[in-house]
Amino acid sequence: MRLKINKELSLPVYRQFIDGIKEQILSGTLPAGFVLPPERKLAAENDVSRTTVVRAYDELKALGLVASYRGKGTVVTDKKEPSHRENPNVFPLSWYPLFEKKLENVSDTITDLMDVGSRQDTISFAAGVGAPELYPINQLKIIQNDSACTSEVLNLSAVEGYYPLRESLSQLMERRGISTSAKEVMILSGSMQGIDFAARTFLSPGDAVIVEEPTFLQAIQCFRAAGARIIGIPLDREGIRTDVLEAQLGRYKPKFIYTIPTFHNPTGIVMSLERRMELLRIAYKYQVPILEDDPYSEIRFLPQKLPPLKALDHYGYVIYLNTFSKVLFPGMRVGWVVAPAPVRKKFTLLKQITDLHVNTPAQYVLDQFLREGHYEPHLERELTIYEKKRNIMVSALKQAEGLVGFDVPDGGFYLWCRIPYTIPQKQLLSLCASKGVLYTPGSVFYPQESDGEHLLRLNFTYESRERIEKGISIFIEAVKKLSKHNTKMDSIIEEYRPLV
Using the predicted structure, report yes or no on whether residue 8 has a pLDDT greater than 90. no
Closest to 369 (Cα-Cα) out of 191, 190, 164: 164
Query: Is residue 495 a contact partner of residue 231, using CB atoms and an 8 Å limit?
Result: no
The pLDDT assigned to 71 comes to 75
Average pLDDT over residues 470-487: 84
Average pLDDT, the chain: 87
How far apart, in whole angstroms, are the C-alpha atoms of residue 80 and residue 396? 61
> Does the structure show a pLDDT above 60 at 495?
no
CA 405/CA 403 separation, integer angstroms: 7
pLDDT digit string (tens) for 187-211?
999 999 999 999 999 999 999 999 9
Output DSSP code: residue 328.
Answer: T
* 177-186: pLDDT as tens digits: 999 999 999 9
Render pLDDT for 334-345 as a digit per residue (tens, 0 to 9).
999 999 999 999
Q: Tens digits of per-residue pLDDT, 291-325?
A: 999 999 999 999 889 999 999 999 999 999 999 99
Q: What is the pLDDT of residue 83?
A: 45
CB count in 10 Å sphere of residue 97: 9
The CATH number that domain 137-373 falls under is 3.40.640.10
239 pLDDT higher than 70: yes
DSSP 489: H
Length of the chain: 500
d(CA 93, CA 179): 54
Could you give the percent of the chain with pLDDT greater than 90?
A: 59
pLDDT for the residue 94:
64
| Domain coordinates in residue numbering, the chain | 13-99, 109-129+377-494, 137-373
pLDDT of residue 479 exceeding 80, the answer is: yes
CATH number of 13-99: 1.10.10.10
Secondary structure (H, E, C), 25-83: HHCCCCCCCCECCCHHHHHHHCCCCHHHHHHHHHHHHHCCCEEEECCCEEEECCCCCHH
* Fold designation for 109-129+377-494: Aspartate Aminotransferase, domain 1 (3.90.1150)
Query: pLDDT confidence of 229, banded at 50, 70, 90?
Result: very high
Euclidean distance between CA atoms 321 and 186, whole angstroms: 10
The mean-pLDDT minimum among 45-54, 240-249, 430-439, 458-467 falls in 45-54
Over residues 122-138, the pLDDT tens digits come to 899 998 999 999 998 88
Asked if 440 and 446 touch (Cβ cutoff 8 Å), the reply is no
**Cα–Cα nearest to 419, from 490, 474, 472:** 490
Is residue 388's pLDDT more than 90? yes
State the average pLDDT over residues 469-494.
74
